[in-house]
């Protein structure tokens, strides 16, 4: 811009001179000068030309004298600038070599830069030396250089940054946090220092200090308003979750403030609802969850809404789940919530209907596991149970909170891997290689058309015990027996029964068939020994039954 202004000024000057000479040429005249008895006559054009030439000569002579007078300093400045340029060139080459991991070139360029530049005037020389030491593995020397830089106000932040990275590399988190706090005191706009200090204070539970630091960070202009509001909402949610058990009122206020800053932050709404439930404010808590549910159905919202204060009956939980379904009838989470609530109420028909509708809407592991549970409780059909378990194994896993590869069933404000704030995201898990059957993609047709045929439902109540004369009859124990008769009396019936038993096949215990004598099927005397034949030593045997055995038979009920 400056060059253009100079060029424009020069053009205007030339135009002005040309216009002046043209104006004089259109108005000719003579000029007579008498000086010391001498009379000089000339035209006006010649006089003006001589004056302009004289001014130009005077200006040239003045420039020449000034140049000669200042030439020593100019020459010195020239050589100094040339030396500085060579030094900066060496410094630039050294920094590039250090970034590329070329320690030899970095050291060589560092030595050259030191010879051409003053280390006091150019702090980048210290940085190059520290980087070269790090590449060569001389970490102690690099730390000393960073400490020197941290003491210089001009390079304080650069030195603290180097010390922070070294401490993180060595795993000294406490020392790294101290360096970050020193940096943020002088320069709260530094992102690395502010983020590290926030994470450290969050881990220690210093939520108020974290909020103050975040406000300073926002005022410095290093973070946008939307991002600052998001982080503040996360901090308030973490603070509310920590105060939920001890002070539900404060937790409710903080969580609702977080919701106002970030209406889509589901964990904030859940914490707010739980705090309101603890204050017995069922209506307001339900309203908070209903707003979140309308915006985006989420299983955590459904679970919190259905169970509410935790003292609801199964019928009340089912009604609340049905209310969620009316708001989002096409949502998998709504259908699954109704199915789970109906299963808890043992309404297997509704549970199966909603679970199958959810499975057709979105193939997930949880819905097939629920179908397997329903099948086990309702029918006990092992074939169908195995089918649903197989479908669960092939189906995609349910979404979860994931941060830096870490999977959590609950939301956390910090990543346990990197310590990053607001790192968890709700998204689907990817099946690991080899864990799912890859023969064909899982579809509704594959899941339901290959289902084995249904069997009769299991009785709703457990089978009754066997009673004799209205009282429970204990099964005969091996230790109990009739009074022992004389050995001679026991040998006779065994000898009589032996031919018949030898001719008969191996007996088994079985239920009575249709048309079989009911009393015979229920009599304990009709049950053959477990091993199919009498032992070699039959032991003590009861006396022979009388001819009319109807009196000794045990009748059921």
What does the pLDDT look like over 60-94, one tens digit per residue?
999 889 888 888 888 888 777 888 888 888 888 88
108-119: average pLDDT: 79
DSSP-assigned states of every residue in 307-338: HTTS---HHHHHHHHHHHHHHSTT-HHHHHHH
Q: Hey, is 443 helix, strand or coil?
A: coil
Please list the residues that pair with 403 across neighbouring strands: 406
Domains of the chain: 17-66 (no CATH), 226-292 (1.25.40), 297-395+443-474 (1.25.40.10)
**Where residue 103 falls among pLDDT bands split at 50, 70, 90?**
confident
What is the model's pLDDT at position 479? 38
Q: How far is CA 482 from CA 23, 392, 476, 541, in A?
A: 155, 56, 11, 8
The H or E element containing residue 400 is strand 400-403
Flag whether pLDDT at 321 surpasses 70. Answer: yes
Flag whether pLDDT at 460 surpasses 70. Answer: no
pLDDT, tens digit, for every residue of 491-510? 333 333 333 333 333 333 33
Looking at per-residue pLDDT, the higher value among 247 and 445 belongs to 247
464-479: average pLDDT: 39
CB of 301 closer than 8 Å to CB of 270: yes
Q: How far is CA 484 from CA 189, 488, 489, 498, 553, in A?
A: 99, 11, 10, 21, 20
111-131: average pLDDT: 79
Flag whether pLDDT at 327 surpasses 80. Answer: yes
Cα angle 403, 405, 406 (rounded to 5 degrees) comes to 65
CB of 66 closer than 8 Å to CB of 85: no
What is the model's pLDDT at position 36? 80
| Residue 260 burial (C-beta neighbours within 10 Å; 0-12, 13-18, 19+) | exposed
For the ranges 154-168, 254-268, 358-372, 520-534, the lowest mean pLDDT is seen at 520-534
CB of 147 closer than 8 Å to CB of 160: no
DSSP 423: -
What is the model's pLDDT at position 477? 39
Looking at per-residue pLDDT, the higher value among 324 and 445 belongs to 324
What is the model's pLDDT at position 68? 87
What is the model's pLDDT at position 532? 43
39: Cβ–Cβ under 8 A, 6 or more apart, which residues?
32, 33
What is the model's pLDDT at position 456? 63
Flag whether pLDDT at 128 surpasses 50. Answer: yes
What is the model's pLDDT at position 441? 67
Query: What count of Cα atoms within 13 Å lies in the side-chain half-sphere of residue 133?
Result: 17
CB of 135 closer than 8 Å to CB of 106: yes
For the ranges 50-59, 249-258, 295-304, the lowest mean pLDDT is seen at 50-59
pLDDT, tens digit, for every residue of 405-443? 899 989 999 999 888 899 999 998 766 555 444 445 677
**Where residue 521 falls among pLDDT bands split at 50, 70, 90?**
very low
Please list the residues that pair with 402 across neighbouring strands: 407, 425
What is the model's pLDDT at position 96? 87
CB of 158 closer than 8 Å to CB of 149: yes
Global confidence as pTM: 0.64
For the ranges 28-32, 130-134, 183-187, 407-411, the lowest mean pLDDT is seen at 28-32
Looking at per-residue pLDDT, the higher value among 272 and 96 belongs to 272
The 8 Å CB, 24+ separation contacts for 452-458 are 452/381, 452/383, 452/384, 452/387, 454/379, 454/381, 454/384, 455/379, 455/381, 455/384, 456/379, 457/348, 457/378, 457/379, 458/377, 458/378, 458/379, 458/380
**Where residue 328 falls among pLDDT bands split at 50, 70, 90?**
very high
143-150: average pLDDT: 88
Q: What is the total residue count of the chain?
A: 557
What is the model's pLDDT at position 271? 95
What is the model's pLDDT at position 134? 85
**Where residue 253 falls among pLDDT bands split at 50, 70, 90?**
very high
pLDDT, tens digit, for every residue of 336-395? 999 999 999 999 999 999 999 999 998 899 999 999 999 999 988 899 999 999 999 988
CB of 110 closer than 8 Å to CB of 124: no
pLDDT, tens digit, for every residue of 382-394? 999 999 999 999 8
DSSP 551: G
CB of 132 closer than 8 Å to CB of 98: yes
Flag whether pLDDT at 317 surpasses 60. Answer: yes
d(CA 108, CA 128): 11
**Where residue 539 falls among pLDDT bands split at 50, 70, 90?**
very low
pLDDT, tens digit, for every residue of 220-236? 888 888 999 999 999 99
Q: What percent of the chain has pLDDT over 90?
A: 32
Dihedral in degrees, nearest 10, Cα atoms 155, 160, 161, 162? 90
Looking at per-residue pLDDT, the higher value among 306 and 447 belongs to 306
DSSP-assigned states of every residue in 248-291: HHHHHHHHHHHHHH-TT-HHHHHHHHHHHHHTT-HHHHHHHHHH
d(CA 315, CA 309): 14
């Amino acid at each position: 811009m400056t060059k253009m202004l100079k060029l424009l000024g020069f053009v205007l000057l030339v135009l002005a001179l040309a216009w002046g000479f043209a104006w004089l040429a259109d108005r000719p005249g003579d000029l007579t000068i008498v000086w010391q008895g001498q009379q000089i006559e000339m035209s006006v054009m010649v006089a003006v030309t001589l004056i302009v030439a004289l001014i130009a000569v005077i200006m040239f002579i003045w420039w020449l004298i000034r140049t000669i007078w200042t030439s020593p300093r100019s020459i010195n400045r020239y050589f100094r600038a040339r030396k500085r340029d060579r030094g900066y060139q060496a410094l630039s080459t050294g920094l590039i070599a250090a970034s590329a991991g070329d320690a030899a070139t970095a050291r060589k360029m560092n030595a050259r830069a030191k010879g051409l530049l003053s280390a006091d005037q150019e702090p980048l020389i210290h940085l190059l030396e520290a980087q070269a030491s790090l590449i060569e593995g001389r970490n102690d020397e690099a730390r000393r250089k960073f400490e020197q830089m941290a003491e210089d106000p001009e390079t304080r932040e650069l030195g603290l940054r180097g010390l922070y990275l070294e401490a993180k590399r060595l795993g000294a988190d406490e020392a790294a946090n101290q360096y970050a706090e020193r940096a943020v005191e002088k320069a709260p706009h530094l992102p690395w220092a502010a983020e590290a200090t926030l994470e450290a204070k969050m881990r220690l539970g210093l939520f108020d200090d974290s909020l103050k630091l975040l406000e300073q960070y926002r005022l410095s202009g290093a973070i946008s308003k939307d991002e600052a509001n998001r982080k503040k909402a996360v901090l308030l949610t973490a603070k509310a979750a920590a105060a939920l058990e001890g002070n539900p009122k404060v937790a409710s206020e903080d969580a609702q403030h977080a919701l106002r800053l970030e209406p889509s932050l589901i964990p904030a709404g859940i914490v707010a609802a739980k705090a309101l439930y603890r204050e017995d404010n069922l209506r307001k808590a339900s309203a908070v969850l209903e707003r979140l549910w309308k915006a985006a159905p989420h299983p955590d919202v459904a679970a919190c809404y259905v169970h509410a204060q935790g003292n609801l009956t199964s019928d009340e939980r089912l009604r609340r789940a049905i209310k969620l379904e009316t708001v989002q009838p096409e949502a998998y989470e709504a259908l699954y919530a109704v199915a789970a609530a109906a299963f808890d109420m043992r309404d297997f028909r509704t549970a199966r209907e909603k679970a199958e509708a959810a499975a057709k809407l979105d193939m997930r592991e949880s819905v097939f596991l629920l179908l397997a549970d329903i099948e086990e409780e309702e029918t006990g059909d092992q074939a169908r149970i195995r089918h649903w378990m197989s479908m669960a194994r092939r189906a995609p896993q349910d979404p979860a909170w994931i941060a830096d590869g870490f999977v959590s069933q609950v939301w956390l404000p910090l990543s346990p891997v990197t310590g990053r704030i607001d790192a968890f995201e709700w998204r689907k898990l990817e099946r690991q290689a080899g864990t799912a059957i890859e023969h064909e993609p899982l579809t509704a047709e594959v899941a339901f058309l290959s289902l084995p045929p249904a069997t009769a439902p299991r009785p709703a109540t457990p089978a009754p015990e066997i009673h004799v004369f209205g009282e429970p009859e204990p099964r005969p124990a091996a230790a109990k027996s009739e009074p022992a008769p004389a050995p001679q009396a026991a040998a006779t019936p065994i000898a009589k029964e032996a031919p018949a038993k030898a001719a008969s096949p191996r007996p088994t215990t079985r239920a009575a068939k249709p048309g079989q004598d009911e009393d015979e099927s229920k009599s304990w005397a009709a049950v053959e020994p477990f091993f199919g034949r009498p032992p070699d030593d039959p032991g003590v045997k009861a006396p022979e039954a009388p001819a009319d055995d109807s009196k000794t038979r045990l009748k059921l009920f």
